[in-house]
Amino acid sequence: MKKIKIDVEKFDVSNMKDIKRSIERDISRRDMRVLLDFSSVKFIDSSGLSVIITIFKRLRAVGGLLVLCGLNSQPLSLLKTTQLHRIIKIADRCYS
């Protein structure tokens, strides 16, 4: 499983394009299973959420898996409010 750390406090409209590009660059054609480490992220807005959904769909389309870990209070609450925690796997701890 390829582990990618999202190393920002806020994952929002101001940096979502750069983060999306960085994740896509880090995922090769062989990386079908990706673990996104959100332990540094304290806040996600709808733009950040859209990046997560895009990566999830991209991996799912090729039979891959996306797992999120290290979710702090607000990001986890947002995933639960939007019911995305039902379709995107969330790990209690980050591992690789």
Residues of the chain with pLDDT under 70: 96
- One-letter amino acid identity for 43? F
Domains of the chain: 2-91 (3.30.750.24)
At residue 37, the pLDDT reads 97
- The pTM for the full model equals 0.91
At 96 the pLDDT is: 60
Residue 31 is predicted with a pLDDT of: 74
